[in-house]
């Protein structure tokens, strides 16, 4: 973790793997950032951003070409974020309710 605070977490993975198909993969560096902002006494807003970097320029070029006509909200990465963010939120909620973060 590069930041670990009650309302802000930044994690870094230097060697994440993107599987392109059953046999081909690319290494990437991934940075996740999660922030919780209090809305009122019972609610907060959780935001998640992800930055992916790869030194494999052929992969980046091919990915950009493949995704150029795909709306940002429909990209596989965004779909993954949409699936994972609520899970992060539930984990944070569970820990907050258990008094892990006071």
**Percent of the chain's residues with pLDDT above 70:** 97
- DSSP state letters, 23-90: S-EEEEEEEEEEEEEE-SSS-EEEEEEEEEE-S-HHHHHHHHHHHTTS-GGGSHHHHHHHHHHHHHHH
> Which sequence spans correspond to the domains of the chain?
3-59+71-97
Question: pLDDT of 21-67, one tens digit each?
Answer: 788 888 899 898 989 899 999 888 988 888 889 888 888 888 888 88
Q: How far apart are alpha carbons 57 and 77 in whole angstroms?
A: 18
Decide: pTM greater than 0.85.
Answer: no
């Amino acid at each position: 973790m590069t930041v670990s605070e009650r309302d802000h977490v930044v994690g870094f993975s230097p060697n994440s793997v993107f599987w392109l198909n059953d046999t081909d993969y690319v290494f990437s560096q991934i940075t996740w950032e999660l922030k919780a902002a209090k809305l009122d006494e019972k609610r907060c807003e959780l935001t998640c951003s992800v930055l992916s970097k790869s030194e494999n320029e052929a992969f980046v070029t091919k990915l950009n070409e493949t995704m150029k006509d795909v709306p940002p909200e429909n990209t596989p990465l965004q779909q993954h974020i949409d699936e994972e963010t609520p899970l992060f939120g539930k984990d944070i909620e569970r820990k907050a309710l258990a008094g892990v973060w006071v």
